[in-house]
């Protein structure tokens, strides 16, 4: 088991660095697409948000009553 660990340490960290860079770039792409979607469809987002407020308040009330009952 210790020998396997030593083999991993000797290897080049190029794949790990490349994977981290890929994840970072992919994260930036997703952030950009998300910002574009919010800006582009803000009116629709506002309608969905307003529709969810009632459901959120009902859920918060149920959870509060469940906690108070204990």
For the entire predicted model, the pTM comes to 0.53
Task: State yes or no: pLDDT of 5 exceeds 70.
Answer: no
- What is the number of domains present in the chain? 1
Greater confidence, 33 or 9? 33
pLDDT tens-digit readout, 61-70? 999 999 998 7
Residue 34 covered by a domain:
yes
Domain residues for the domain of 28 are 12-69
pLDDT (0 to 100) of residue 57: 95
Burial 20-58 (b: 16+ CB within 10 A, else e): eeeeeeeeeeeeeeeeeeeeeeeeeeeeeeeeeeeeeee
**Angstrom distances, CA of residue 34 to CA of 15, 23, 44, 58:** 28, 16, 14, 28
pLDDT tens-digit readout, 33-52? 999 999 999 999 899 999 99
How many beta carbons lie within 10 A of that of residue 19, not counting itself?
Answer: 11
């Amino acid at each position: 088991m210790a020998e396997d660990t030593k083999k991993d340490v000797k290897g080049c960290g190029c794949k790990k660095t490349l994977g981290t860079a890929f994840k970072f770039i992919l994260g930036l792409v997703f952030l950009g697409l998300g910002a574009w979607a919010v800006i582009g469809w803000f009116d629709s987002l506002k309608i969905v948000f307003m529709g969810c407020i009632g459901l959120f308040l009902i859920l918060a009330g149920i959870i509060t009553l469940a906690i108070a009952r204990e």
